Structure 1
Amino acid sequence: MSPVIFHIDVNSAYLSWSALEKLKNGSSVDLRTIPSIIGGDEKSRHGIVLAKSIPAKKYGIHTAESVASALRKCPALVTEPPDHDLYHRYSRAMMELLFSFTPDLEQVSIDECYLDFTPIAHLYSSPEDAAALIRDHIFDTLHFTVNIGIAHTKVLAKMASDFEKPGKIHTLYPEEIPVKMWPLPVSDLFMVGRRSAEKLIGFGIQTIGELARTDPAFLTTHFKSHGRLMWEFANGIDDSPVLSEKQEAKGIGNSTTLREDITDPGEAEKVLLALCESVSGRLRKAGQLAGTITVEIKYHDFTKASHQAQTLSPCNTTGEIHRLACSLFGALWDGRPIRLLGVRSSRLVSEEEPVQLSIFDLPFTPKPEEATTAAPSPEKLKQLDTALDSIRRKYGEDAIKRGRFL
């Protein structure tokens, strides 16, 4: 039996959740029924559009454009600031509801997740009926709408959920690809960002179908490994499984959505340091060493990129993980404004297991003239992290901070 995967996506999540909260607090206006957006500051006209209502979309307003641009298109536009604490509460409520159907869930962002329907398929008459039940249960319980895409692969389920909205259910099985997906513009394909789309169009590749029929060797020549990925996705090829919460032990990571988009590499490295400190602390608490580090970037236009590399030897020190994360960031970042940064560790091994040391793990005695400038040894860095962990356990997480954060 082929796997059946659902992609569940909240319709205009930020706007829907803000609208619901305002109605709960006595507002007589539902933001979803008027031209409105979430994001930025109406008075300063700064920031970008994070979410928009359907009436706002009719004015040509789109996600990630500037608030100033949106207001020029619709001067009567209602602007609400984001409330991320509120959004996390609604997100948790939805995930708890979905866990009542199955534990086989992979949450990929605050407002979307994959659900592996295969193990529970025998409980329902069809995937479509089960999806309708889930959609209706979310609306009846939490009062917001979701789209659900159904397919045999994650990428096709993701594509299907982006079809007509809101509150719709769509399938995208292999035999439906030529009719439902291939006529779409190439920019609609998951993982094809603006720059890639412009480059593809420059080669005369206008639609997803044309991309699917392009020689993958040509795409690899011009886009490297991303070219092969785009070709596979255009053909519905994706063997990645739904990674449920029970598999979380295979990796430890952390990410943060930045209060403001950043373009300064120094600021980015400071954020990476905070993330690496969190990840390394959790690794040490779990008694684990990381063999691979991944850095993820989400740009201001919501396109994503990631890069990973193996550590010289498995480690869990903040300094070593941060060093590798900064190296990965430098190779990955293309200069565009950054909205989110993430650091993830994987290929974990127990601290108790013997590991192959690298030459850089060996004790190092600097020459006399270098003694004042030599970097701390790996053993000294471990001792530092152990001391910091001890202080924080005894006096709280904020008991001691790195000077860079002051």
Structure 2
Amino acid sequence: MRHILHCDMNAFYASVEVQRHPELRGKPVAVCGSQEERHGIVLTANYVAKPRGVKTGMAVWQARQVCPDLVILPPDMAEYIRISRYAREIYEDYTDQVEPFGLDESWLDVTGSAGLYGSPMAIAQEISNRIKTELGITASIGIANNKVTAKLGSDYRKPDAITRIEADNYKEVVYPLPVEDLLYVGPATSRKLQAVGICTIGHLAECPVEFLERQLGKMGGILHMFANGRDVSPVQRSDHIPDIKSVGNSVTAPRDLVSEADVQLMLLLLAESVCTRMRELASRCTVVEISVRDTELHSYSRQKKLPRPSCSSQELAEVGMALFWRSYDWTRPVRSVGIRGAGLVEAAEQQLSLYADDQRRDKWEQIDRAVDWLRERYGYMSVRRAMVCMDPLLGRINPYDDHTVHPVGYFGG
């Protein structure tokens, strides 16, 4: 039998800030995005603020209403990444199978470690103690024989708890939990399940799989398997690098985008960062996808297949703008946009061509590579397109350095 741990550092951003600022202990603390740059939402709150109604995703003004003495701090991603790396070093003292799920969560396969370090419970307790003493924060840890159930265990009791869920107590612990606690049951799926009377994980586990597949398609069978505690997916080894199928970037603009020129500028800036990452991966994309969200948070995405693989920022921006022209009616201003290069192929697979469009693409890619070299040596702002100077507020955005690349999701391996 496998022994899988899921370690979740509690209220991670806020916990790191309180550890850095001991004078904040016992006070309600929230780490929030910048209100000036329109990211004014709660990213995380500590366990003093949460009982007073402060929730992740809440607007800052709402958080202040429910908790007037809330201490609000800006995020410091460099510090959170540093602490996350230290936590990973602790995990790797016990196993080389450590798979991150965001900065604050990781799965560990300790099946082969019991002979050296004791039972899974003993290993979990030792990891919990080390995170407290070495990092100054706490973690909740789930123990199970698979990844999905281990994550349920880490979510079951917080903060600073260890929960074992195995065959002898699975139904007792898991069946009463709300269905949205199961990994990959999001709000939309939860609404569909509740509409047919499935409100708990137990209901989902006992529902006929054929019925679930009629309601949810293939995902219905997957969720039925998860609800019954069955999951054979491995915990990836520390040196495992999954195949990357796409590279994307999106941004909430510092002001509403009210014209096509605004959108064009943002898509060009984002396309530059996406294409730089593709070149770092020695890849080109075969599909361009854009995502658009308006000021009332309605969103949509559109995509188009390219005639030839490309990592030209100019081409991606032009294709993205054409998709926008065809799809957006300007009923409301645009709040955020994103662009993604999907269907990645190796750059070496590109063949030379004598067609004018292909020659133009090759020249733009050569220019992009020269810009990459200059920015790497002299900084991002050392060379910029002239059009960004037309709008200093939008043009100051650095989507490459400011963009955090998160670990590959559950189905990405």
- Contact 1:293–1:308 at 8 Å: present in 2 too? yes
Output the CA distance in 2 between the equivalents of 1:96 and 1:344.
33
Task: Show the counterpart of 2:280.
Answer: 282
Output the CA distance in 2 between the equivalents of 1:233 and 1:274.
40
Task: Show the counterpart of 2:64.
Answer: 71
Amino acid at match of 1:83: D
CA-atom RMSD in angstroms: 4.5
- Contact 2:288–2:339 at 8 Å: present in 1 too? no
Residue 110 (structure 1) shift: 1.6
The alignment partner of 1:55 has SS state of: coil
Output the CA distance in 1 between the equivalents of 2:158 and 2:336.
26
- Which of 109, 124, 128 is the matching residue for 2:121? 128
- Residues 168, 322 of structure 1: CA spacing in aligned structure 2 closer, same or farther, 3 A cutoff? farther
Output the CA distance in 2 between the equivalents of 1:3 and 1:397.
47
Residue 136 (structure 1) shift: 0.5
- Residues 141, 390 of structure 1: CA spacing in aligned structure 2 closer, same or farther, 3 A cutoff? closer
What TM-score do you get using the length of structure 2 for normalisation? 0.72
- Residues 181, 73 of structure 1: CA spacing in aligned structure 2 closer, same or farther, 3 A cutoff? same
Aligned length: 371
Q: Deviations over 1:165-223 (max 9, x none)?
A: 11111122345332211211112222112222122211111111112223334333333
Q: Deviations over 1:46-71 (max 9, x none)?
A: 82222223232222332212232233
- Residues 113, 319 of structure 1: CA spacing in aligned structure 2 closer, same or farther, 3 A cutoff? farther
The alignment partner of 1:144 has SS state of: coil
What TM-score do you get using the length of structure 1 for normalisation? 0.73
Amino acid at match of 1:4: H
Output the CA distance in 2 between the equivalents of 1:121 and 1:294.
46
Task: Show the counterpart of 2:160.
Answer: 167
Output the CA distance in 2 between the equivalents of 1:324 and 1:224.
32
Amino acid at match of 2:355: F
Amino acid at match of 2:10: N
- Contact 2:247–2:342 at 8 Å: present in 1 too? no
Output the CA distance in 2 between the equivalents of 1:220 and 1:177.
24
The alignment partner of 2:383 has SS state of: coil
Output the CA distance in 1 between the equivalents of 2:235 and 2:320.
26
Q: Deviations over 1:347-392 (max 9, x none)?
A: 76573xx67x7xxx85435xxxxxxxx6865544443444444544
- Contact 2:267–2:339 at 8 Å: present in 1 too? no
Q: Share of identical aligned residues, percent?
A: 29
Output the CA distance in 2 between the equivalents of 1:123 and 1:176.
26
Task: Show the counterpart of 2:196.
Answer: 203
Q: Structure 2: any 5+ residue segments left out of the alignment?
A: 293-300, 389-393, 396-413
Q: Deviations over 1:65-90 (max 9, x none)?
A: 22322333233333333333332222
Task: Show the counterpart of 1:364.
Answer: 355
Q: Which runs of 4+ in 1 moved over 4 A?
A: 40-46, 252-272, 288-297, 306-331, 337-350, 374-378, 389-398, 402-405
Task: Show the counterpart of 2:226.
Answer: 233
The alignment partner of 1:251 has SS state of: coil
Output the CA distance in 2 between the equivalents of 1:381 and 1:44.
32
Output the CA distance in 2 between the equivalents of 1:307 and 1:245.
35
Q: Structure 1: any 5+ residue segments left out of the alignment?
A: 298-305, 366-373
Alignment of 1:56 with 2:49, yes or no, is yes
Output the CA distance in 2 between the equivalents of 1:66 and 1:276.
29
Alignment of 1:90 with 2:90, yes or no, is no
- Contact 2:375–2:381 at 8 Å: present in 1 too? yes
- Contact 2:286–2:341 at 8 Å: present in 1 too? no
Output the CA distance in 2 between the equivalents of 1:296 and 1:152.
38
- Residues 379, 275 of structure 1: CA spacing in aligned structure 2 closer, same or farther, 3 A cutoff? closer
Task: Show the counterpart of 1:273.
Answer: 271
Task: Show the counterpart of 1:141.
Answer: 134
The alignment partner of 2:42 has SS state of: coil
- If asked which structure has higher relative contact order (CA below 8 Å, sep 6+), I would say 2
Residue 134 (structure 1) shift: 0.9
- Residues 281, 118 of structure 1: CA spacing in aligned structure 2 closer, same or farther, 3 A cutoff? same
- Residues 94, 394 of structure 1: CA spacing in aligned structure 2 closer, same or farther, 3 A cutoff? closer
Residue 393 (structure 1) shift: 5.6
- Contact 1:255–1:340 at 8 Å: present in 2 too? no
Amino acid at match of 1:22: H
